[in-house]
Amino acid sequence: MNEQLRQAVDADRLPHACVLEGGTAEGRLKLAKELAAALVCKGDAPKPCGTCDACRKAESGNHPDILFVGPENGRKTLSVETVRNMRDDAYILPNEADRKVYIIDPADSMQDYAQNALLKILEEPPAYATFLLLCTSKASLLPTVLSRTAVFSLTPVVGADRDGETVKKAQELAQDISAALNSGSQTKLLAAVAPFEKDYDLLPLALEQLELMLRDALVVKAGGTKILSGADGTVKALAGLYADQALLSMVEAVEDISSAITLHANKNLTLSRLVSRLSACEQ
């Protein structure tokens, strides 16, 4: 489990719905199981402790509050009936743990109507329920579903190493961009992006942090209270200033720029596009 997810679990800040994308199917499922075990763990942090009764049940696949949801009866798609049954089950209190965890795998096997059925529980989930959506790519999920989730990629970020100091600096730079968006000033946005001319390798990780803040803002607008980025003030300001569509457009802009970086796009052009795309989303 990466450090960001571990801190979120230990601080009880993990969002009620998370998308785990990329990597391998085995890697996604392994991470989902570890997250689920951490959420039902009765031991001390860091979780999962691996020794309590809940962890042992999770390890053996027998914990009653960790449920696996996938295609049934040899089908290739996850049916709307299965999603509706899960939705009904979610309103039944946990058996033993404080949490009830649903591992939806593969989430990208859901057709649009099944995703719309899932959206209803994501919009108003019980306080104790957590949904982990496993997929090859978040692009397979509807924007409305993505707006109610936090996305974690198992594919390494290009050009940025993830030691503590690097992550901290990237978070600070992402906060600066968010603050500039809250100010509505393109001049401040240009100033916030300027440091990447020198530290361009930090841009992919900073964009990942910025996307997390934007998705946090969408969660807040939907009535959620879990802010995974930890940037509570900035996130609430974004949620108060921008409409859902503007925030979704910003998320799309950040994803497009991130994709351009992986294709080794020109540095100056990439930074100019970032400012231009984000400015175009402002109200």
Q: If we measure between CA atoms, which residue out of 19, 4, 107, 101 comes closest to residue 57?
A: 101
Question: Which residue, of 126, 153, 180, is where some domain finishes?
Answer: 153
Does residue 160 register a pLDDT over 60?
A: no
Backbone angles phi and psi of 24, in degrees to 5: -105, 160
Residue 16 in any domain: the answer is yes
Going by the DSSP 8-state scheme, the letter that residue 157 receives in this structure is P
CA 239 from centre of chain:
17
Angstrom distance (rounded) from CA 110 to CA 179: 37
Greater model confidence, 260 or 161: 260
The boundaries of the domain holding residue 143 are 3-153
3-state class (DSSP) for residue 21: strand
Angstrom distance (rounded) from CA 258 to CA 274: 10
Q: Cβ of 149: how many Cβ atoms within 10 Å? A: 23
Greater model confidence, 65 or 123: 65
| Domain match, 198 and 245 both | yes
Residue 158 in any domain: the answer is no
- Residue 255 in tokens: 């994803």
Is the full-model pTM beyond 0.85?
A: no
Percent of the chain exceeding pLDDT 70 equals 93
Q: Domain holding 170: CATH number? A: 1.20.272.10
Angstrom distance (rounded) from CA 51 to CA 48: 8
* CB contact at 8 A, 78 and 71: yes
Going by the DSSP 8-state scheme, the letter that residue 109 receives in this structure is G
Angstrom distance (rounded) from CA 229 to CA 2: 14
Angstrom distance (rounded) from CA 220 to CA 235: 8
How much is the pLDDT for 282?
A: 65
Regarding beta strands 66-69 and 150-153, do their DSSP bridges make them parallel or antiparallel, or are they unpaired? unpaired
Q: What is the mean pLDDT of residues 163-171?
A: 78
What's the total number of domains in the chain? 2
- Please measure the distance between the N-terminal and C-terminal CA atoms of the chain and give it in whole angstroms: 38
Measure the CA angle with vertex 191, ends 186 and 193; round to 5°. 95
How much is the pLDDT for 5?
A: 77
pLDDT tens per residue, range 92-147? 999 999 999 999 999 999 989 999 999 989 988 899 999 999 998 888 888 888 88
| Domain match, 114 and 184 both | no
Q: Domain holding 47: CATH number? A: 3.40.50.300
| Domain match, 174 and 129 both | no
Residue 159 in any domain: the answer is no
Does residue 42 register a pLDDT over 70?
A: yes
Question: What residues pair up with 259 in beta bridges, in sequence order?
Answer: none
| Domain match, 225 and 268 both | yes
Does residue 162 register a pLDDT over 90?
A: no
3-state class (DSSP) for residue 82: helix
Question: Which residues fall within 8 angstroms of residue 51, CB to CB, at 6 or more apart?
Answer: 43
How much is the pLDDT for 56?
A: 95
Residue 234 in any domain: the answer is yes
